[in-house]
């Protein structure tokens, strides 16, 4: 089992991939700009090819920049609307349960923003780690489709404007 704190996770992953150039098993790395930074550094030290996920950067699409505060919010709505509700991806009930804990609010500029994990913790809501991993993976699929200039439309439904909403409520 991979260690439970940042330093141990980084050390354990480093040991697992030393000499092989790959990590066996699945590692949920939060991102290169947050909790996963130490793990990302260790993987790089071991010459492991990685794709960082940076949740706080500007959304990647023009529509995303108009509607969402950051890439994580854009990617969560892409997963919800295009992949799941669009019928491209079916998810297990356990994962759907996690997805239903993801909330969003409107920032002062009127853009949607996923509620932070710190705010979720304060409300005793368990972190949706598996949903986050799926969201990051789908983000990479979306990026690959866009960079290959594949025709792909992204339509967004406008929800009602309550203070904080469940992404999967109708």
State yes or no: pLDDT of 68 exceeds 70: yes
Residue 9: its pLDDT value, please? 55
Dist. CA 85–CA 76, nearest whole Å? 12
- Conformational region of residue 35, where left means phi above 0, alpha means psi within -120 to 50, and beta covers everything else: alpha
Q: Tens of pLDDT along 118-164?
A: 999 999 999 998 999 899 888 887 777 766 644 444 433 333 344 55
- Is the model's pTM score more than 0.75? no
Q: Which residue has the higher pLDDT, 94 or 34?
A: 94
State yes or no: pLDDT of 89 exceeds 70: yes
Residue 162: its pLDDT value, please? 44
Q: How confident is the model at residue 43 (pLDDT cuts 50, 70, 90)?
A: confident
Spell 121-130 as b/e; 16+ CB within 10 A means b: eeeeeeebeb
Dist. CA 98–CA 87, nearest whole Å? 19
């Amino acid at each position: 089992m991979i260690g439970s704190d940042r330093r141990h996770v980084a050390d354990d992953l480093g040991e697992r991939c030393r000499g092989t150039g790959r990590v066996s098993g699945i590692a949920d790395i939060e991102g290169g700009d947050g909790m996963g930074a130490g793990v990302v550094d260790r993987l790089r030290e071991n010459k492991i090819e990685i794709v960082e996920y940076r949740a706080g950067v500007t959304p990647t699409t023009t529509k995303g920049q108009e509607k969402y505060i950051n890439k994580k919010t854009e990617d969560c709505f892409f997963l919800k609307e295009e992949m799941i509700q669009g019928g491209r991806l079916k998810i297990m009930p356990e994962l759907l349960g996690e997805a239903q804990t993801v909330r969003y609010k409107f920032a002062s500029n009127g853009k949607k923003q996923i509620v932070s994990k710190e705010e979720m913790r304060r409300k005793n809501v368990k972190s949706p780690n598996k949903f986050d991993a799926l969201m990051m993976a789908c983000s990479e699929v979306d990026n690959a489709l866009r960079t290959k200039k594949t025709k792909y439309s992204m339509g967004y439904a406008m929800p009602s404007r309550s203070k904080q909403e469940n992404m999967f409520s109708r």
